[in-house]
Structure 1
Amino acid sequence: MPVRSPYPHRFPSAPAGGVVAQLILLALLTATTGLGPAGWVAGVVYAVAVGITLRSALRRRGRRSLGPADHVTLTRATLTGCVTALVVDTVRAPAPIGLLVTITAVALILDAVDGQVARRTGTVSSLGARFDMEVDAFLILVLSVFVATSLGAWVLVIGAMRYAFVVASRPLPWLKAPLPPRMTRKTVAALQGIILMVVAADVLPRPVGAVATGLALAVLVWSFGRDIMWLYRHRDATRVEPRPRGVRLQPTDVLYRVDISA
């Protein structure tokens, strides 16, 4: 008979470990790049927010730990915290482009790993999908903020679109319905991060970078528009019922979108 832990509400180790790892990486950035107070504040606030949110999500689902793929996603989340700190710190000094792009590249590469790990280990879950999506969305938001400083505020639309969709889903609950899986949706999502990273690297002439970013935005608008139209046409057949109080989500429940490109 398994022994019940005497500390059922103890802070889960993985979220706490993520916060500690974030602090260590911020210290390394300070030692190597001279990360300033603004970057530190942004990094710490981000790490604490991720830790608290992840802890809450684990408790709501009755889980005590993360799966193998979730640990990969947590690593990506920590790298995203570093990118956030570097971008915010540009209020003090120019960002170290090489380091920023390298960290972003590793985070984007790991984005192709966590899904494979989940499928191969049989640990696919609604929590993992949501966690993966939120990390992707926030990384793209931060990159769009950075690129907007050189190309213009219009680039922010790329990073804001996923969050605008969430806001719109409150008065329009049919937007919360699950979508049929499409590989094009995943491809469009990956494309945003790749193009923003390349433009951030400043290896392209500015006009070329602007055109590439504009094309990425156009494809993103098309992807969102296509899926919004699908949800609208099927709004009666895909109605999302409110979850009764006290009922926990099961791993097979799909209540949220799992791709930032909609």
Structure 2
Amino acid sequence: MTISTATTTTSPYRAPLAGFVAQLLLLGALAVTVGLSTWGLVAGVVYGAVLCGLLGLALQRAGMTRLGWANSVTFSRAILTGGVTALIVAHVAGAETPVALLVTLAGVALAMDGIDGQVARRTGTTTSLGARFDMEIDSILVLVLSVYAGSELGWWAVAIGVFRYAFVAASWALPWLNAPTPPRFSRKVVAAVQGVILVAVASGLLPTLVAVLALVVVLAPLTWSFGCDIAWLYRASRVSETARSRWSAPNREHAMAG
């Protein structure tokens, strides 16, 4: 009798499961070395479970059974972001934060951001799933870092991380916001700068006034960037609607004449 192992070796959940184990190991290391609080540990486990579950579903829907090198780099960033999330949740809950470790994990995750895209392009493995995965991890990292900044300098700073999620929520009510936007170099610059400044603020090396001004410097161009995208999408939706109206009018007249 032959036992097939195809379903186990090609399961889309194989890599996410291994990643979840790596997430638990990182959380365990944090608990042992810096005394990660219960809240932080729970947040990290929930983050890892949701991350790996959604990634498995995404791989299944895309018909992929392996992450590939580029997505593996992104997954590594995601696991580090889980560690950052756990530390920040613990901090907000009142635990003492090992700032040097927090900044190191966040800094490495940010530094790896440019690697996965290069790996994908050089290996010819660029996919829509990989691009979305990379974007989501960037958004989560910025969100939790903005929460840390908000807990130290005022909760208005959380707007930096909430912007993208508010945009997604608005798109549920306004479907025209779901349309793709043209590439814009300024958007990439704003995205890169916000992460760097948030890590610098988290380090505690900046005087309070300088840190606040730095966050304002991030929030202003971020608002402008989202405003540009919203304005472009609105104009594009109006143009599309006008074109559809002009196209459908002769068809209605033809139907009435017939």
Name 1:223's counterpart in structure 2: 225
- Whole-Å Cα distance in 1 between the matches of residues 171 and 101 of structure 2? 37
| Aligned counterpart, 1:253 | none
The alpha carbon displacement at 1:68 in A equals 1.1
Q: Say whether the 8 Å CA contact 1:174–1:232 is kept in structure 2.
A: yes
Residue matched to 1:163: 165
Deviation at 1:161, TM superposition (A): 0.5
TM-score, normalisation: structure 1: 0.87
1:100 counterpart = 2:102: yes
Aligned residue for 1:226, secondary structure, equals helix
Q: What secondary structure sits across from 1:214 in the alignment?
A: helix
Q: Are the counterparts in 1 of residues 157 and 215 from structure 2 also a CA contact under 8 Å? A: yes
Matched position secondary structure for 2:237: coil
What does 1:196-211 correspond to in 2, within 5 Å?
Answer: 196-211=198-213
Query: Unmatched 5+ residue regions in structure 2?
Result: 242-258
- What is the alpha-carbon distance in structure 1 between the residues aligned to residue 151 and residue 172 of structure 2? 31
User: Partner of 2:27 in structure 1?
Assistant: 26
Alignment of 1:110-149 (within 5 A): 110-149=112-151
* Residue matched to 1:259: none
In the other structure, the counterpart of 1:89 is 90
Could you tell me how far apart the structure 1 residues matched to 2:41 and 2:7 are?
36
SS in 2 for 1:50: helix
Runs of 4 or more, structure 1, over 3 Å off, are: 6-11, 236-239
How many residue pairs match? The answer is 237
Partners of 2:239 and 2:14 in 1: how far apart? 41
> Offset of 1:225 from its aligned partner?
0.3
Distance 1:181 1:95 in 2: 38
1:212 and 1:122 mapped to 2: Cα distance? 38
For residue 68 of structure 1, give the secondary structure of its aligned residue in structure 2: helix
| 1:209 partner letter | A
Q: CA deviation at 1:8?
A: 9.1
Letter in 2 for 1:182: R
- Give percent identity, aligned residues only: 53
Aligned 8 A contact 2:80 2:105 in 1: yes
**Greater shift after overlay, 130-139 or 179-188?**
179-188
Tell me, yes or no, if the aligned pair for 1:36 and 1:92 is still in contact at 8 Å: no
**Residue pairs, 1:170-189, within 5 angstroms:** 170-189=172-191
Is the 1:178–1:238 Cα contact (8 Å) retained in structure 2? no
Question: What secondary structure does 2:205 align onto?
Answer: coil
2:249 corresponds to? none
Q: CA deviation at 1:184?
A: 1.2
RMSD across aligned C-alpha pairs, in angstroms?
Answer: 1.7
Query: CA–CA distance in 1 between the matches of 2:216 and 2:56?
Result: 38
Taking the aligned partners of 1:128 and 1:8, their CA distance within structure 2 comes to 21
Distance, in Å, in 2 between the alignment partners of 1:177 and 1:30 is 43
Does the 8 A contact of 1:144 with 1:158 survive in 2?
A: yes
Q: Contact between 2:10 and 2:65, CA under 8 Å: does it hold in 1?
A: no
- Distance, in Å, in 1 between the alignment partners of 2:7 and 2:51 is 26
| One-letter identity of the residue aligned with 1:105 | G
Q: Which residue in 2 is equivalent to 1:246?
A: none
The structure with higher relative contact order (CA 8 Å, sep 6+) is 1
Q: Which segment drifts farther, 89-98 or 114-123?
A: 89-98
How many angstroms apart in 1 are the aligned matches of 2:170 and 2:198? 25
CA contact (8 A) 2:19 2:79 kept: yes
The amino acid that maps onto 1:154 is W
